[in-house]
Amino acid sequence: MEEMLSKEIQAGLDHARAQSLRKASRLRLDVEGRKYAVLRMWKTGFSVAAEDAPHLRGLVDLYDGANHLFQCLIVASAEEAGEMQYEFKRATPVATSAALDFERDEQAPVALIEKDSAIA
């Protein structure tokens, strides 16, 4: 048996679901200084509350709390159930250190311990 809900009740349920997702998620999107809460994220994209986000496109930063996770190139794909869905064109993980331009030898010393003249 299938029950039909009125549009008002369905809209209220969708709004309550979006609010609970927004509170539970630590993910956020930073677009030119403006921040948007990410409701859900999957391998190829993420969703933001449709009422909060315009049709975003271009380069954005994705954070988990204070941790910068990805610098992403995105495009808006669809609006569904009060969520604006975006797809990654590119999602580059943020590195914590600069890239090396040389090969590091596995046998190289990690540090240099100098001989202290007072101990010897």
**HEC sequence for 41-71:** EECCEEEEECCCCCCCEEEEEEEECCEEEEE
User: What confidence category does residue 1 fall into, taking pLDDT thresholds of 50, 70 and 90?
Assistant: very low
Q: Is residue 52 part of a domain?
A: yes
Tell me the C-alpha distance between 110 and 102, whole Å: 16
Inter-residue contact 69 to 25 (CB < 8 Å): no
- Give the DSSP letter of residue 8: H
| 17 compared with 117, residue with greater pLDDT | 17
CATH code of residue 81: 2.40.10.430
Instruction: List, in order, residues 6 or more apart from 72 with CB less than 8 Å away.
Output: 59, 60, 61, 62, 88, 89, 90, 91, 92
Give residue 62's pLDDT.
92
Q: Is residue 80 part of a domain?
A: yes
Q: Is residue 73 part of a domain?
A: yes
Give residue 21's pLDDT.
61
Domain range enclosing 47: 27-93
Give residue 87's pLDDT.
93
| 34 compared with 12, residue with greater pLDDT | 34
Which residue is it, tokens 């797809």? 87
Q: Is residue 108 part of a domain?
A: no
Q: Is residue 116 part of a domain?
A: no
User: What confidence category does residue 23 fall into, taking pLDDT thresholds of 50, 70 and 90?
Assistant: low
Instruction: List, in order, residues 6 or more apart from 15 with CB less than 8 Å away.
Output: 82
Which residue is it, tokens 């927004």? 22
What is the mean predicted confidence (pLDDT) over 56-84? 88
What is the mean predicted confidence (pLDDT) over 3-16? 75
Total domain count, the chain = 1
What is the mean predicted confidence (pLDDT) over 41-66? 87
Q: Is residue 19 part of a domain?
A: no
Tell me the C-alpha distance between 87 and 85, whole Å: 7
| 90 compared with 97, residue with greater pLDDT | 90
Q: Is residue 16 part of a domain?
A: no
